[in-house]
Amino acid sequence: MATLPDQTNHQALLDNRTILVIDDEEPIRRLLTYLLQSHGYLVEGAGDAREARQKLGDQPFALMLCDVNMPGESGMDLVRHALAEHKHTAAIMVTGLDSSVLANAALEVGAFGYIVKPFESNEVLIDVANALRRRRLEIENSLHRENLEDIVRTRTLALQQALDWLKHTEKELRLSREETIQRLAMAAEFRDSSTAQHIQRMSHYCELLARKAGLPPERCDLIRTASPMHDIGKIGTPDHVLLKPGRFTDEEFGVIAQHAEIGYRILSGSDSELLKVAATIAYTHHEHYDGTGYPRGLKGEAIPIEGRIVAIADAFDALTTQRVYKPAFGLSHAIELMLKHRGTHFDPELLDIFVASIDEVARIHNQYADLVNPNPTTDEP
């Protein structure tokens, strides 16, 4: 990519009045040099193409007046070369032959004019002035275009950086939101059996089941993120109930069962889609498909699908995890036990989908296996 000259260089480029006169006839060179110098131009002369190439390489010329027929390389070839190599140099051909074919050839190689010898002084001066004006316009256009391209480049880069920053921030925000949720969920469950791995397994089982059930990807992601909060209502369960070893009395069962409603009260009322899903899950994850669950005894598809999904994932994780009062059941045994409650506790179709996905379920189970034996637990109803 060409680097733009700075403002000073621009002006120097536009103000350049240096002209290279190339002609093998010395009197013509002298005549042109005198004429142009007497009108304020800086002039250098060259007797052939080789000398001209050397001078063109030594300094920038605004214009070259070039003879067509010279010994060695022709003026036409020299101009073709010079215009390709020195993009800010203009050219006018000077020749003894008044030929329209030659004139056209000169214009085709990029010359701005064609002067036939013998010439009038005014004719030369007018052609030179015109060629320099045209050169100036072309340079200004080119600089303007480059300037515009540079502005577009700069703004595109700034936009790209802003987008990258936004993506980074969005990712940070999402990760921090998920981590906050997981840590809050762990804090709520810290008093009983839950571990970080339980939270991870639960949310991934839920996401897997939601995906296999054909829910849209955004919904699956919401369920994965919201499901760790399913038991957040246990914050409101007194220790003497939550931590009680052994079975619950009916009264204690009633107290612990309140965690679904407490969780709902904590999470509901938000405009956030995530918290709405989390509230639904907290409220409905202990409902049973046949209507025998709690807190509202909802039945069948009246139970939101998020609640039916979490019910399966939660039960499966409880069965396959070691607790103080029971060993971890193998995956097949756990599935066998759950199938006994197909259509009563669990949504039959969702349970079938979960069972059919057992290979992926097992991968999640192994990936987020508990690192140490969990703490003593209560037997949540």
| Smallest separation (angstroms) from Fe ion to the CB of 286 | 6
Give the interface segment with Fe ion, choosing from 110-118, 210-218, 226-234, 296-304 (CB under 5 A).
226-234
- Least Å distance, CB 314 to Fe ion, is 7
Which range in 33-41, 228-236, 334-342, 358-366 contacts Fe ion by CB under 5 A? 228-236
| Cα distance between residue 115 and residue 69, in whole Å | 13
- Tell me how many residues contact Fe ion (CB under 5 A): 1
Residue 322 token pair: 């070691």
Assess 231 for contact with Fe ion (CB under 5 A): yes
Smallest distance, Å, CB 216 to Fe ion? 26
29 vs 230 by CB, closer to Fe ion: 230
Residue 347 C-beta: closest distance to Fe ion, Å: 17
Is residue 127 part of the contact set for Fe ion (CB under 5 A)?
no
Site membership for Fe ion, residue 192 (CB under 5 A): no
Using the rule CB under 5 A, give the single segment among 19-27, 76-84, 206-214, 223-231 that binds Fe ion: 223-231
Cα→Cα distances 363→100, 288, 315, 323, 356, Å: 84, 27, 17, 21, 14
In terms of CB distance, is 16 or 321 closer to Fe ion? 321
Q: Spell out the alpha helix ranges (H) of the chain.
A: 7-15, 26-37, 49-58, 75-85, 100-108, 121-189, 196-212, 217-226, 239-242, 250-257, 259-267, 273-284, 305-319, 331-339, 348-356, 358-367
Q: How are beta strands 63-67 and 18-22 bridged, if at all?
A: parallel
| CA dist., res. 325 & res. 68, Å (int) | 106
Region of 343 please: left (phi>0), alpha (psi -120 to 50) or beta: left
**CB of residue 173 to Fe ion, shortest distance in Å:** 28
Rounded to the nearest 10°, the torsion over CA 142, 148, 153, 158 is: 160
Radius of gyration of the chain (CA): 43
Q: Tell the smallest beta-carbon distance from residue 371 to Fe ion (Å).
A: 23
Residue span 350-379 as binding mask against Fe ion, x where in contact by CB under 5 A, dash where not: ------------------------------
Q: Residue 117, Cα to own-chain centre: how many angstroms? A: 64
Chain residue at closest Cβ approach to Fe ion: 231
Cα torsion 225, 237, 196, 209: sign: negative
Nearest residue (CB) to Fe ion, 194 versus 225? 194
**Nearest to Fe ion of 124, 310 (CB atom):** 310
Name which of 67 and 231 has its Cβ closer to Fe ion: 231
Nearer to Fe ion (CB atom), residue 70 or residue 188:
188
Q: Hey, what are 268's tokens?
A: 């509901």
146: CB partners within 8 A, 6+ apart: 2, 4
Kindly list the catalytic residues. 234
Chain residues binding Fe ion by CB under 5 A are: 231
